[in-house]
Amino acid sequence: MLLDTPICDFGWQAPDFTLRDPNGHSFTMSDHLQNGLLIAFICNHCPYVKTITDRLAQDTGLLMSKGIGVLAVMSNDYREYPEDAPQKILEFAKKNGFNFPYLVDEDQTIGKAYGAVCTPDFFGLNADGRLQYRGRLDNLGRSQTGEREPELVNAMLQIAQTGQGPRHQSPSMGCSIKWTRG
């Protein structure tokens, strides 16, 4: 099901969390806030995520080089969607040049706590862990043509510099998060 993200709730305090990557290494959100933090809810099987992987890897590399933290979270029910299983996350991250931690939200509590609705769903936090961006990666979406406006990069650089995100934001669009049934 195709969904759009809600409008940014400026100043919402993001809940801290600790999740593991598929290798069992723990990452705590608050340890990565330094100049701001991008939390990207993504998964391997979503066609919207697959289309943006090159741009996502490039943009997050730039953000990390500027001291902005990046964490990706996979909240899908990977038992129902085996392409999103932890071992597949490792392969997907390596194939796509992801240099950020790609974490497994095993019981889906983080996705629910954040109100994540789709993949990709981007949360841009300032150094205090307050939400300042809930928009899309860029203006191209699934298109590979046209002049690109890197909206997420621009927003995160502004957040790192001022602590505030841009007031105009366009929602991200993607596949619904696959919640566990029952």
Q: What is the pLDDT of residues 94-124, one digit of tens each?
A: 999 999 999 999 999 999 999 999 999 999 9
87-95, long-range: CB within 8 Å, 24+ apart, which pairs? 87/22, 88/44, 89/21, 89/22, 89/44, 90/22, 90/23, 92/44
What does pTM read for this prediction? 0.96
Condensed to tens digits (0 to 9), the pLDDT of residues 62-73 reads 999 999 999 999
The per-residue pLDDT for 181 is 82
Tell me the average pLDDT of the chain: 95
